[in-house]
Structure 1
């Protein structure tokens, strides 16, 4: 999945465009906050993401996890093993959706800066930096 092309085709080209309300609007997703849990559903071919009222960081991370489901998966999970597979895919893709590589300068990979600029936790930003290093430079362990 080429996140840059997907985002650009929906008018999301810079960090300022990447807030959850704007992304939901650009992709025609109904977004509701203050819901008892984080969930994505589809009703009458309309994608709906409902988020708990948390701090902006955890709400952003939950949004991009659910958004990954919108982009990658259908509405129905056929079996428990398929549901687990979909959750794994969404967990991996949410990092790229929340901190797209085309929006960052690889020479300045500072997790605190990424956390602040992209409204994610520092732990989330560190995980994304690890992904970027592996993708660009191979396993750097």
Structure 2
């Protein structure tokens, strides 16, 4: 079911979601994306280049946040614009827990002429904001 433009208001919150990220998740994403940079799977290499540990792919983090919007809208094609700034990496420990990306969203603006809403997203991992200026423009029916 898709969301109706008339049924939403500025300030409405989207259902928050949490995304578990393990080392296995990173290997799967590397295979799907073709991004085999060792900072995403080799702990020794990641630390040698100054990172605290292996980190999640930025595009994986960005896609996780977008999922909150597409799940809410009911139609991935409704997203007409999406952008973020990467503020902190998602550090993925080599244990059973890995990391968790917690994402929330809120309708920040409506454009009656275009029938779009701007959704501002917040993405946090380990208490740190990992995306800044995360915004999606969504065209609603």
TM-score by length of 2: 0.31
Higher Cα radius of gyration: 2
Q: Whose RCO is larger (CA < 8 A, sep 6+)?
A: 2
**Structure that is richer in strand per residue:** 2
Q: Which one has the bigger helix percentage? A: 1
Structure 1 length-normalised TM: 0.31
